Every structure is written in structure tokens, then in C-alpha cells.
Amino acid sequence: MISKKERIIWVAVVVFVIAISFINIYRPSRAGAQERGGDNDFYRYMTLFQNVYNSLQENFVDSDKVSAKKLITGAIKGMLEAVDDPFTMLMDDKLTAELNSEMAGEFGGLGIVLGMNDDSWLTVTAPIEDTPAERIGVHGGDIISEIDGKTTKGMSIEQAVKILRGKPGTKVTITVVREGEDEPLRFTITRAIINIKSVKYQMLPGPEKTGYVRITTFGDKTLNELKAALADLNQNGMKRIIVDLRNNPGGRLDTAFRTVDLFVSQGKIVYTRGRNPQQNSDFYAQPNDDLCIDIPMIVLVNKYSASASEIFAGAIRDNKRGVLVGEKTFGKFSVQQVLPLDPKNNVTYKMTIAKYYTPLGRSLHKEGLPPDYTADEEQFSKEDMTAVRKIREGKFISEYMKQHPKADADAVAIPKLAATLSTSCIKVRQELLERMIAIERGRAESYKRVVDLKYDRQLQYSMELIGKPATFDYKKLDDAQAAAAKTNAQPDKTAK
């Protein structure tokens, strides 16, 4: 039994824990709480909390399961989950370390960026490029329904991360529900050290000298990698640039701000507004080396471009530095802060404290940033997706690459591969098979070819647009966006 003195001490500890767990928590007087009504009666609900805690400590059958640490940590976790925000969570020492390693650009796992959909199912925001998940065929938008045979319903993002991450070389099986597939798909993926090369680039073919830069994430190394890429492209005579943020799930927001500096010499980049005035900030472009100030610019986006990607794209567009091509973005315009909870054990918690606004005041959280020119990605048929999955499962492409590392044999070898697949009851279009081989060969060439114009419809459309001065008629584009907003429709600027 707990003595009266012990209970008094415990109440003081609980109040202290809750006070340090929130920024500027409002502790009303008893009179104030009564005036405001039941939902905000701090003392009433703290009494309920204390009663449950005491009851568990005194009566729960397994005393080793009701330590103060376990119960109060669980209560804090539940408190953070109660706000119903997928980006607000408790982070134990492992999650805190993993967050830091992600920003550094190296960690062990599958290469999946996780989110939560409106039905509280774990969702793949995007697979990270050149990782086990991306190579095996995990797609953005996939709903992860099971991990190693256990349902993920009700599982938090941090719980899933703990399971999915692990020792390199070990395996984990995920079951995903994918739009267009009648049955769930299962992928057994081998964990690996994930080294993220966040910037890939090349000069696109043709006399126009179009530089192409793909930013896969905004991490600690991104700014320096981007500076080096732009310097190299400039040295080779770049006259216009396409920045590709498709499938970029975000990353470090301060990195996104500083990358905008390489394209915008002045003006506002983004601003935040929160519940408390101290969360309000305005970020402006800073003087730079004028690496890419005057040349025509297009930013490629899709529905998996999120967070820091959207800030970059919004800053470029609202400052009339470039136009957006592709699809409406993901719609994560909220600000999270990681705060220490138990520094001794490296335990932190993360919570949403504000929302981002583009320079022109657009708050697009859960809505997404609309493109100036819509270009949908190629849609594959159900038969195509089934064929791709079976080819990957059978490792036919990797075996083909071992025998034919160079493209000079493709004209004869690809039809032979198609015949082999047919004998295995895999029917695939030759164009699709050629595309799969081209993608794999591009990986094998260690980023010498980071994109293939032949198969990229959105990039092809961008190449058409960037050479036309009318593409950058911002007044016309702004009028189209305003009209679209009134009718809740996309601007009528669609790739045919």
C-alpha cells in the first residue's frame, strides 16, 4: 500500500513531469477551470489520472509491470497520441538516434519513408531511391497492412520504424495494399545500410544545355552536394535547369531554405505561424554566389513531394523564379519541434507547433501545392504491374544484367528474355521490359545516367515547356490558379 506521504510526493512528481513535457502549458486556477467547464478542468482530470495510477500500483496482478517509469511513460505517450496528429509522438532513445542518422544520410533499414493516412493505416510516403524497398518494388501510396504477419492497424509510425529497422542482412516481410491490385502484395526485403546520395545530376542530351538535378531528400549533405552539382553544370555551359523533387519526402527544413538561396537572391522563402507568438518566424533569401539566378527554371513535383520539398517548390514559384510541372504535392505544411524529455536516456518527443505558409500566404497543409502545368505520370495496367512484380520476384532483370551489362546486345537479347518469361507464364510488353532493363542499367552505371528521357513523360513535357517564353507568363498562370481555386479544379494546362 502507498502511504499518504508517498501519494503527496507522487502527485508533485506527476505535475512536474507534465509541466516539463509541454511548452508554456496553461495551468488554470481551480476557479478558472470551473468557469471554463469540464473538458478543461485540469485538477479533475489529474485526480482521475492519480486514481488509476494508484489502483494499478496497488492491485495489478503483475507488480513488475506497473513501475513508475512504465506507467508514466505510457501516459505521456498516450497524451501525445491523443492530439490525433501523426507527426506528434514520443521518441525513445532508438528513435531519436535514428532520426539523427536519417538527417546525416546513413542508417540501417529498408529505405521507406512512412506516413499515416486518414484511416490511421501506415502508408509509404515514398521509397528512398536506390534502397532495398525501392528496388524490390515498394511504391509511394502503398498501405502497409502487415509486418511479419502481424497487423499494423493501430500501430504508430514509431512502432513500425522499430520493427522495420534492424541489423543489415536480416529480412522482414511486409504486406501492402495497393490501389489497382485485387490482392495484397507481400515483399520480403533484406535490410541494408542506407546511404542516401541526395543530389544526382546530368546535362540532358541536346544543344539546349539543359541541366537536370534530382534532389531525393533534404539532409545534412544536400546543400554542399547541390552546390557542387550546379558548379559542374555551370562549368559545362548550362543555360536552363530542371530541378526534380518527385518522390522527395522532405527532410531538414533549414537545408531547404538554404538550397532556395542558390536560386533566389532576395525575398521571402517561407514563414510560420503557430499558436504561440514565439513560433512565428519569417525566412528570407540570403546573399549567395549567384549560381543559378537568371536561367529558366522548372521544378518537377508529384503527389509524393512533401514537407521540405513543398517549401522549396513554393518559394521558387511564389518568387516567380520558376514554374511547377507535374502533380499536386503531398500537403505537409506543418512544423514539428523535437524536445528533450529524458536527456539522460536520450528520450525526446516531437510535436507540431506551427504551420508553414508560402511567400504569398498559401497554407496548403493536407491540400498540397498545385502545379502550374499538370502532367500525370504514366499509368500502368493491372497486367503490367503483375508482370513487373513477378519479374522482380524471379530476379530475371538482375540475371539479365549479369549476362548483358552493356546495351549493345539488347536488340537480340531482350526478345530472348521475353520468350523465357513467356515460358514462365509471365506476359510482358517489350516496351515495359526495355524500360525495366534501362532503369537497372542506369543504377549499375553509378549515376552516370540519372534519368532516361525516353521513358519519363513528365520530364519530356518539361523539356517542351522550358524552351517557350510563354511558359513563364506568371500573371496568366496566377489568374489560372485563382480561377481553379474558385472552381476547385486544376488549371487547364495539362500534358496531352
Quick: pLDDT tens for 284-293: 998 776 677 7
Task: Say if 491 falls within a structural domain.
Answer: no
The pLDDT score that the predictor gives to residue 4 is 44
* Side chain identity at residue 189, one-letter code: I
* Side chain identity at residue 162, one-letter code: K
The pLDDT score that the predictor gives to residue 49 is 94
**Eight-class DSSP state of 29:** -
Which residues, in sequence order, are bridge partners of residue 127?
112
Top-ranked range on mean pLDDT: pick from 49-53, 154-158, 391-395, 409-413: 49-53
Q: Band of the pLDDT at 482, cuts 50, 70, 90?
A: confident
User: Side-chain half-sphere of 125: how many Cα atoms within 13 Å?
Assistant: 23
**pLDDT tens digit string along 240-279?**
999 999 999 888 889 999 999 999 988 999 999 999 999 9
Coil vs helix vs strand at 115: strand
Task: Say if 37 falls within a structural domain.
Answer: yes
Enumerate helices (H) and strands (E) in the chain, giving the number of each: 16, 19
- Tabulate helix, strand, coil % of the chain (nearest 5): 40, 20, 35
Q: What is the average pLDDT across 179-189?
A: 87
Confirm if 123 and 114 have CB atoms less than 8 A apart: yes
Q: Clarify whether residues 272 and 289 are in a common domain.
A: yes
Burial of 69 from C-beta contacts in 10 A (0-12 / 13-18 / 19+): exposed
Task: Say if 443 falls within a structural domain.
Answer: yes
Which of 5-19, 48-62, 179-193, 319-333 is predicted with the least confidence, judged by mean pLDDT? 5-19
**pLDDT tens digit string along 439-478?**
777 666 544 567 878 889 999 999 999 999 999 999 999 9
Q: Clarify whether residues 244 and 355 are in a common domain.
A: yes
Give me the active site residues, please. 307, 318, 332
The pLDDT score that the predictor gives to residue 192 is 92
Scanning 149-221, the segments in alpha helix (DSSP H) are 157-164
Q: Clarify whether residues 333 and 395 are in a common domain.
A: no
Burial of 290 from C-beta contacts in 10 A (0-12 / 13-18 / 19+): exposed
Q: Clarify whether residues 71 and 119 are in a common domain.
A: no
The pLDDT score that the predictor gives to residue 460 is 95
Coil vs helix vs strand at 89: strand
Task: Say if 485 falls within a structural domain.
Answer: no
Cell numbers for 17, please give them: 513531469
**pLDDT tens digit string along 308-367?**
999 999 999 999 999 999 999 999 888 888 888 888 888 899 999 999 999 999 888 888
C-alpha to C-alpha distance for 98 and 95, rounded to whole angstroms: 5
The pLDDT score that the predictor gives to residue 276 is 92
**pLDDT tens digit string along 66-91?**
999 999 999 999 999 999 888 898 88
Q: What is the average pLDDT across 208-227?
A: 94
Confirm if 357 and 282 have CB atoms less than 8 A apart: no
Q: Clarify whether residues 158 and 204 are in a common domain.
A: no
Which residues, in sequence order, are bridge partners of residue 112?
127
Q: Clarify whether residues 323 and 216 are in a common domain.
A: yes
CA–CA distances in Å: residue 196 to residues 102, 131, 164, 255: 9, 9, 17, 15
**Eight-class DSSP state of 251:** B
Q: Clarify whether residues 364 and 223 are in a common domain.
A: yes
Q: Clarify whether residues 217 and 364 are in a common domain.
A: yes
**pLDDT tens digit string along 89-135?**
888 776 666 666 555 555 678 988 888 887 788 999 888 888 899 88
**What pTM does this model have?**
0.76
When comparing pLDDT for 208 and 94, which is higher? 208
Task: Say if 460 falls within a structural domain.
Answer: no
Q: Clarify whether residues 147 and 255 are in a common domain.
A: no
Task: Say if 186 falls within a structural domain.
Answer: yes
Burial of 65 from C-beta contacts in 10 A (0-12 / 13-18 / 19+): exposed
For the chain, the average pLDDT equals: 84
Task: Say if 31 falls within a structural domain.
Answer: yes
**pLDDT tens digit string along 378-424?**
777 888 888 888 888 888 888 888 888 888 888 888 998 998 898 88
Task: Say if 287 falls within a structural domain.
Answer: yes
Q: Clarify whether residues 40 and 180 are in a common domain.
A: no
Range of the domain at 72: 4-82
Report the number of distinct structural domains present in the chain. 4
